[in-house]
Amino acid sequence: MTITKKTDGDTLTVVVDGWLDTMTAPKFQEEVQDLCGAKNVVLDFGGVEYISSAGLRETVALYRRVAAQGGAFSVRKVSAGVMDVFTLTGFDRKFEIRAD
């Protein structure tokens, strides 16, 4: 898994490529620990092929941190398979998730 962060004003975009699973979730958590002063976070999951419960847990933890500071949180470029996981777990009703 690779992670790239880009800051534009008060928005941090985190581009994730690869699997977000038990093995890579700790790296994801470490990379997003510092929001670089951003209030809003966009996760670009265009390259995420698979997400496990560990990946979901870290995604939700990040959402909660952003929401607690009054920021906006969204997940973009989600594949159909990853969207199925978000839908089955009900997380698609917690925060914005889009395929584009």
Look up residue 87 and give its two tokens: 């839908």
Domains defined for the chain, CATH in brackets: 6-97 (3.30.750.24)
pLDDT value of position 89: 94
- Could you tell me if 46 and 20 are in contact, meaning their C-beta atoms sit under 8 angstroms apart? no
* pLDDT single digits (tens) 13-69: 999 999 999 999 999 999 999 888 899 999 999 999 999 999 999 999 999 999 999
pLDDT value of position 54: 97
| Residue 9 reports pLDDT greater than 90 | yes
Positive or negative, the CA dihedral 49, 96, 44, 39 is: negative
pLDDT value of position 100: 87
